[in-house]
């Protein structure tokens, strides 16, 4: 963290605030964004250091709520868990991600018990992005929509919360939990999870709209990778997708949705539909796998042989895709291209929107006064020029060019 009480002033920049791009300086002290009026009129001091941003855009740090691994590490493997978290947290800084929820897919009970204790909150800095807690995707999902999740590990709520607690061992480090709302006792479980401040996400599901609405009214507030691993939209019963336009949605019972804008998992037309129907709920995710960040060629991850070609990950020697390897800033660019949405909206979809669903938008995902000084400075092509956490520069694309 920067030297205590050192006042930084970022000048010659535009910033995102109140859903707009405005021309304004940013002042930072003690890891927080501060109100310059208090500096001028109350303290009557000037900055200790002035940082020229070269007429670049400053946006809130990106927040990734669904990422399975990267750089050869899979968060669901019990081998080298700490090493994998450390590596991915550090490398995510290059992509402008300042906080994330490492995601564990459906796994054996003993794996949860071994690795979940290692997924607790860890403040970010030069060592890497902040770890916000785990996103456990399963095992309480529908086998028909299991995707790549191992069927033998899928479970249910026959014993209600007792089943949940015995499966994970502890819920202390769980921040988001993906479940299928059609499972028996799911509404009771959702209410209990909400009481524990755990975000319930609906996914890997065959649920109809009525069941989905019941889950939302019970406290579910998120949909896991919209359009993927759920019933396709049907005009007589739109299923989970129909929640985006549900008349049961209220200010206290609303729904957000993660969407993979990697150009592969979600067609641009589907992106446009979701954006136009429920823009306030759109959250960009990567759902990236362990192949994120690996070079073109063949690799072995665990027991799986994969091949990276044309910026896509395939099972080796096949044309079968095995997951996303896009970065979150790439998804931001793809959303702008697909929908024509404003730049500030696209960036907030990867910062403010996930912060809101996690209930941390007073501190992260925003450049408001009093928020954590977690932000990115972007080039005119929306590449990451530098990444800052708590007012400390933790990544620079070209340090020798910094003014």
Model confidence pLDDT, tens digit, residues 62-116: 999 999 999 999 999 888 999 999 999 999 999 999 999 999 999 999 999 999 9
318 and 206 share one domain: yes
End-to-end Cα separation, the chain, in angstroms: 20
The SS3 call for residue 208 is: coil
Token representation of residue 331? 């998804």
The SS3 call for residue 342 is: coil
111 and 226 share one domain: yes
Kindly report the backbone phi and psi dihedral angles of residue 131, in degrees, each rounded to the nearest multiple of 5, phi listed first: -95, 120
Residue ranges making up the domain that contains 390: 8-60+365-401
User: In the prediction, which pLDDT does 228 show?
Assistant: 92
Q: What percent of the chain has pLDDT over 70?
A: 97
Specify whether 305 is catalytic. no
The annotation places the binding site at 137, 148, 204, 225, 228-229, 236, 265, 321-323
144 and 231 share one domain: yes
Q: Is residue 23 part of a domain?
A: yes
Of 368 and 302, more confident? 368
Model confidence over 371-390: pLDDT tens digits? Answer: 999 999 999 889 999 999 99
The predicted model gives 280-293 an average pLDDT of 95
Least confident of 186-190, 235-239, 377-381, 395-399: 395-399
DSSP state of 379: -
Domains identified in the chain, total number: 2
Q: Is 211 a residue whose pLDDT tops 80?
A: yes
- Which residues have C-beta within 8 Å of that of residue 104, sequence separation ≥ 6? 75, 76, 111, 112, 115, 116, 119, 134, 135, 136, 137
240 and 170 share one domain: yes
Strands 174-179 and 199-202: parallel
Distance separating alpha carbons of residues 62 and 332, to the nearest angstrom: 10
Q: How far from 306 is each of 44, 303, 320, CA to CA, in Å?
A: 60, 10, 10
The annotation places the binding site for Zn(2+) at 137, 204, 225
Q: Is 1 a residue whose pLDDT tops 60?
A: no
27 and 124 share one domain: no
User: In the prediction, which pLDDT does 373 show?
Assistant: 98
- β-pair partners for 393: 388
The predicted model gives 300-315 an average pLDDT of 79
28 and 174 share one domain: no
Of 150 and 131, more confident? 131
Distance separating alpha carbons of residues 108 and 92, to the nearest angstrom: 28
69 and 161 share one domain: yes
Q: Is residue 82 part of a domain?
A: yes
| pLDDT band per the 50, 70, 90 thresholds, residue 303 | low
User: In the prediction, which pLDDT does 4 show?
Assistant: 61
What is the domain-level CATH number for residue 182? Answer: 3.20.20.140
pTM of the model as a whole: 0.95
Q: Is residue 1 part of a domain?
A: no
The alpha carbon torsion through 202, 208, 210, 212 (nearest 10 deg) reads 0
The predicted model gives 3-17 an average pLDDT of 91
| pLDDT band per the 50, 70, 90 thresholds, residue 311 | confident
The SS3 call for residue 28 is: strand
19 and 67 share one domain: no
Q: Is residue 392 part of a domain?
A: yes
Q: Is residue 123 part of a domain?
A: yes
150 and 297 share one domain: yes
User: In the prediction, which pLDDT does 302 show?
Assistant: 61
User: In the prediction, which pLDDT does 301 show?
Assistant: 66
From 208, 287, 372, 374, the catalytic residue: 287
Q: Is residue 211 part of a domain?
A: yes
Q: Is residue 2 part of a domain?
A: no
294 and 183 share one domain: yes
Q: Is 7 a residue whose pLDDT tops 80?
A: yes
Q: Is residue 3 part of a domain?
A: no
349 and 220 share one domain: yes
106 and 188 share one domain: yes
Q: Is 318 a residue whose pLDDT tops 90?
A: no
Asked whether the beta carbons of 288 and 68 are under 8 A apart, the reply is yes
Q: Is 403 a residue whose pLDDT tops 50?
A: no
What is the domain-level CATH number for residue 39? Answer: 2.30.40.10
């Amino acid at each position: 963290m920067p030297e205590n009480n050192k006042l930084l002033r970022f000048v010659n920049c535009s910033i995102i605030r109140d859903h707009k791009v405005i021309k304004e300086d940013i002042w930072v002290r003690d890891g927080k964004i501060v109100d310059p009026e208090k500096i001028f009129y109350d303290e009557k001091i000037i900055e200790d250091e002035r940082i020229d941003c070269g007429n670049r855009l400053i946006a809130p740090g990106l927040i990734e709520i669904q990422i399975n691994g990267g750089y050869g590490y899979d968060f669901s493997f019990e081998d080298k868990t700490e090493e994998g978290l450390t590596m991915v947290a550090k490398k995510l800084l290059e992509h402008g991600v300042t906080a994330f929820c490492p995601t564990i897919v459906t796994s054996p009970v003993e794996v949860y018990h071994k690795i979940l204790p290692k997924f607790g909150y860890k403040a970010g800095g030069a060592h890497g992005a902040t770890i916000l807690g785990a996103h456990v995707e399963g095992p309480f999902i529908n086998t028909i929509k299991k995707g790549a999740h191992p069927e033998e590990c899928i479970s249910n709520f026959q014993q209600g919360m007792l089943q949940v607690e015995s499966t994970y061992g502890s819920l202390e480090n769980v921040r988001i939990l993906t479940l299928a709302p059609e499972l028996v006792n799911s509404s009771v479980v959702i209410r209990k999870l909400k009481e524990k401040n755990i975000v319930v996400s609906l996914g890997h599901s065959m649920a109809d709209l009525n069941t989905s609405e019941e889950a939302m009214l019970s406290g579910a507030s998120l949909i896991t990778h919209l359009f993927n691993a759920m019933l396709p939209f049907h005009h007589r019963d739109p299923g989970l997708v129909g929640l985006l336009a549900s008349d049961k949605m209220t200010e206290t019972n609303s729904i957000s949705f993660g969407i993979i804008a990697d150009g592969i998992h979600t067609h641009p037309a589907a992106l446009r539909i979701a954006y136009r129907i429920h823009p306030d709920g759109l959250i960009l995710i990567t759902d990236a796998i362990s192949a994120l960040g690996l070079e073109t060629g063949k690799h072995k991850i665990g027991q799986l042989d994969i091949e990276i070609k044309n910026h896509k990950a395939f099972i080796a020697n096949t044309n079968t895709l095995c997951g996303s390897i896009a970065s979150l800033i790439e998804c931001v660019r793809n959303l702008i291209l697909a929908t024509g949405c404003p730049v500030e909206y696209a960036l907030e979809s990867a910062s403010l929107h996930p912060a809101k669903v996690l209930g941390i938008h007073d501190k992260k995902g925003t450049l408001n006064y009093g928020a954590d000084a977690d932000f990115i400075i972007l080039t005119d092509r929306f590449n990451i020029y530098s990444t800052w956490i708590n007012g400390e520069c933790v990544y620079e694309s070209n340090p020798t060019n910094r003014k």
